[in-house]
Amino acid sequence: MMLVSRRSGAIRWKRLAGIFALLGTMAAGACAPPDQDGTTGTRPDGVSPLFQPLPESAEHPEDNPGTPEKIDLGHKLFFEPKLSRSGIISCNTCHVVGAGGVDAREVAIGEGARTGPRNSPTVYNAAFLAAQFWDGRAETLEEQAKGPIQAHVEMDLTPEEAIERLRVVGYEPLFAEAFPGEEDPLTFDNIAKAIAAFERTLITPGSAFDRYLEGDLDALTPKQKEGLEIFQNAGCISCHNGALLGGQGYAAFSHVEGSEDVGRAAVTGREEDRYVFRIAPLRNVALTAPYFHDGSAATLHEAVSIMGWVQLKRRFTPEEVDAVVAYLESLTGEFPMVTHPQLPRTLPPAPTVTE
């Protein structure tokens, strides 16, 4: 339950009200009798229509279709350390696909052990976010993929250096397959497109909460159902809704007022966006500690307690925190198996021997 704002204008309340109006009637109506396995096929009583199951796949944009060749190339590039100045850091260094898509650090460590001010968000389900980065400065995955490669505190390469490094180790045939018909397919834009295409496959449907939304009354434990009720009644759902339970808007986070990181104001230049950050999505949140944009909450219990008071002015009891955390644990989905790919490595030519 991150980033529930109380600042006027931080959330598009008119749009939210429209959602309530359009979907409110779905909240009424009795559930059908459960089958022997406890499944009714109908949303349980008392569950807000603002919650949506996570889709099993993400759509690829028309200007970047997700072909098998492109996704395979993006898979390799995501693990490619040649895209960092030291040749050590890859996308997977900070967004570890085998560990919830994060690095479990307060803030990421990049080239030369340099650190930025922000926590690495999970790469899983990023395809459904309205904008990328904590301050929303990138609208698409393609745009986001270019940022870390060039950032001084992250991978620290110029586009030209990245292209030349991939050319030297033998990526040209793979780019030709992934971007057929292009005169020069190995470009920085195409590097980003391939990585984005791969990232759109990193979806985690099938959580216990998804099954509950679909009518499996036994998918949640009694404690998780209690936590869900608190989550709705306390107001957490006002920002954490939809398929991701967040990730679609921005909210003021007064917990960090006075810090050097001014959030979205650095992007927009507007004073009203000071300490405003993208609302955190809660899918798989039990696996992505530490929490908040600065990693300042070490545990989910701590994060829930802070958000209850700072954003809702409510002191959750230890029992309430336990229940909400139990509910949040039901948001852990089924992760795809992502192997470490074999990376292209062209051997340098043998030296010329002269007599």
How many Å apart are CA 36 and CA 51, to the nearest integer?
25
In this structure, what are the phi and psi dihedrals at residue 39, rounded to the nearest 5 degrees?
-90, 130
Give 348's DSSP letter: P
How many Å apart are CA 264 and CA 269, to the nearest integer?
8
State yes or no: is 154 an active-site residue.
yes
- HSE value, Cβ hemisphere, 13 Å, CA-based, for 255: 26
Please say whether the beta carbons of 288 and 320 come within 8 A: no
- Classify residue 153 as exposed, middle or buried by CB count within 10 Å of its CB (0-12, 13-18, 19+): middle
Amino acid 25: pLDDT: 35
How many Å apart are CA 245 and CA 10, to the nearest integer?
17
Please say whether the beta carbons of 250 and 130 come within 8 A: no
Please say whether the beta carbons of 97 and 122 come within 8 A: no
pLDDT tens for 251-290 read 998 787 778 899 999 999 999 999 999 999 999 999 999 9
Q: Which among 106, 154, 226, 320 is annotated as catalytic?
A: 154
**CA dist 52 to 119, 210, 312, Å?**
26, 8, 23
Amino acid 38: pLDDT: 59
pLDDT tens for 285-321 read 999 999 999 999 999 999 999 999 999 999 999 999 9
In this structure, what are the phi and psi dihedrals at residue 321, rounded to the nearest 5 degrees?
-60, -45
Domains of the chain: 13-23+34-56+205-329 (1.10.760.10), 68-199 (1.10.760.10)
Q: For the chain, which ranges sit under pLDDT 70?
A: 1-40, 354-355
Please say whether the beta carbons of 32 and 41 come within 8 A: yes
**CA dist 170 to 44, 343, 346, Å?**
54, 9, 5
Amino acid 135: pLDDT: 95
Amino acid 355: pLDDT: 63
Tokens of 56: 């099993």
